Amino acid sequence: MKKGIASIGIITFIVIALVIGFSCKKKTETLSDPEPPISSTPVDNYSSLQDFYNQNGVQLQTFTLNAATGGTFVSNKSTTINIPANAFMDASLNTVTGIVAIEFKDIYKKSDMLFSNVGTSTNYCLLKSAGEFFIRASTVSGPVDISGLKKLTIEQPVQPLAVADGSMAAFGANDTLGTAGAWYTDGSYSLLVNTTKYIFDMYSFNTPLINGSWCNSDNPYYFGMYPQTTLTAAKTGTFSGMVDVFLVFKNVSSMVHVYKSGANYPYNYAPVGLPCSVVAIGVNGGKLYSSINTITISATQTVNFNLTETTTGAFQAAIIALN
């Protein structure tokens, strides 16, 4: 995924800086600080929508470990990352030894999906998500892959008030995650489900390694029980800047980015009878604009939206309320 991903030079700088202090780190590292707000200091001045996502989306955490011994880390959203000994190989297929930096971010809430512009659909069809995550591993020489016969295990906790869903499957995505057809299934991943967590096994990273790997635990069948229709979001008013449109579903962990076609934003796989919010966000002249329309989807429906100026704080509060 290209959005907000550091260059190899930045990765190297991060790794070197972390190596200096590594000798005092334990094999298992748990972050116990409370999760920071999405944007602790809203700027309300954006050069583009991508700038908005970069500033307000979920940020990367970086962990370090000795590749020869492996380690276990816990994210600030309580995701556990288990890395066995000798788990990585370099571009020449040699086993990596020494310090490896693990960059990681995880997404569970619909608000985080929207602020990070990471939806839950495959070939335009909706998925119900139990949690998304991004991971990349690097040494001072560059990114590394998972070694043959090894696997990383990512334990995603079942969220509060939710019940473990046995229909979840393991999905991955490449750096074209911003497109609607990004999520896919293949032999690089597998998933086990118990009452408290989803156990996501990774056997290789996506290529090119420098872009990192996005993964998602999803139920691909949940929305199949609903008839599909075309829901069209139609912009009204005089706003002339950049616009993105999303459908945020009620009572289910799912969000889809709806792309423009002609003058409007049609979505041809909308589930009839489900409540959702049609969220539009725009940037013009550095200022943030938004519109939120809450509906129950009906056959061949059109929803008009009119973007009005807002603040980052007000928009964050409105989207978090949709969780």
Q: Are 125 and 269 in contact (CB under 8 A)?
A: yes
H-assigned helices in the chain = 8-20, 49-56, 110-116, 312-320
- Helix (H, G, I), strand (E, B), or coil: what is residue 116? helix
The answer on 231 and 215 residing in a single domain is no
29 pLDDT exceeds 80? no
Q: What is the mean pLDDT of residues 171-196?
A: 82
pLDDT for 267: 96
Which of the pair, 125 or 90, is modelled with greater confidence? 90
- Which whole-number Å values give the CA distances from 1 to 72, 191, 206, in the listed order? 25, 22, 10
Same domain, 232 and 218: no
Select from 197, 222, 247 the last residue of a domain.
222
pLDDT digits (tens, 9 = 90+) for 252-266: 999 999 999 999 999
Is the per-residue pLDDT at 64 higher than 80? yes
181 belongs to a structural domain:
yes
pLDDT higher than 90, residue 177: no
Specify the pLDDT at position 173.
Answer: 87
| One domain, residues 263 and 232 | yes
Residue 292 located in a structural domain: yes
Split at pLDDT 50, 70, 90, the class of 58 is very high
Supply the pLDDT for residue 123: 80
The domain boundary residue, chosen from 199, 222, 245: 222
CATH number assigned to the domain comprising residue 240: 2.60.40
- The pLDDT mean for the chain works out to 88
Residues 189 and 296 in one domain: no
Same domain, 101 and 215: yes
Q: Which residue has the higher pLDDT, 45 or 40?
A: 45
Same domain assignment for residues 153 and 302:
no
More confident residue, 183 or 293: 293
Residue 122 has a pLDDT of 86
Is the pLDDT at 67 greater than 80, yes or no?
Answer: yes
The maximal CA–CA distance of the chain, rounded, in angstroms, is 61
Domain span including residue 290: 225-320
Name the β-bridge partners of 199: 155, 192
Mean pLDDT, rounded, for 205-213: 91
Measured between alpha carbons, how far is residue 143 from residues 87, 137, 209, 272, 321 in Å?
13, 6, 6, 44, 38
Counting the structural domains of the chain, the total is 2
Least confident residue range of 39-48, 76-85, 205-214: 39-48
Asked if 206 and 299 sit in the same domain, the reply is no
